[in-house]
Amino acid sequence: MDKNSAAALIPIVGMLVTFALPLLLVAIILYYKHRRQRMTHDTIVRLAEKGLPIPPELLEPPARQNPSDAGLRGGLVLVALGIALGIFLREVNGPWSIGFIPGLMGVALLIAWKIETRAKG
């Protein structure tokens, strides 16, 4: 392999890894979710064949404790990420205002969380 073909191979491999890795991660997650669901269905079938009662936990997905807390948690994480990104970019003499993007998204989630909790209570 000469120098030109080796130099062309590096960006090609970089692009393949960049685009294939997220797809591979999604495929792995979907595979394990499908596998868990198949195991649950097999368990239900075995219980039904034996004539045993099927626990309701197997038929309905587990409910989250308090789904409104997800907005609070997500908002706080995004605000912290925006602050950290802004500080980091300022230290490396980059465009620190990019930190406003996740930061303001976090503020929007916090506002939505506050409106939801006020409407419920």
Distance CA 13, CA 6 (A): 11
**pLDDT (average), residues 54-83:** 82
Question: Residue 55: is its pLDDT beyond 80?
Answer: yes
> What pLDDT does 1 receive?
60
Distance CA 109, CA 81 (A): 13
pLDDT band at 117 (very low <50, low <70, confident <90, very high): confident
Lowest mean pLDDT among 26-40, 51-65, 94-108: 51-65
Q: Who wins on pLDDT, 68 or 72?
A: 72
Write out the DSSP string of 95-120. Answer: -GGGGHHHHHHHHHHHHHHHHHHHHH
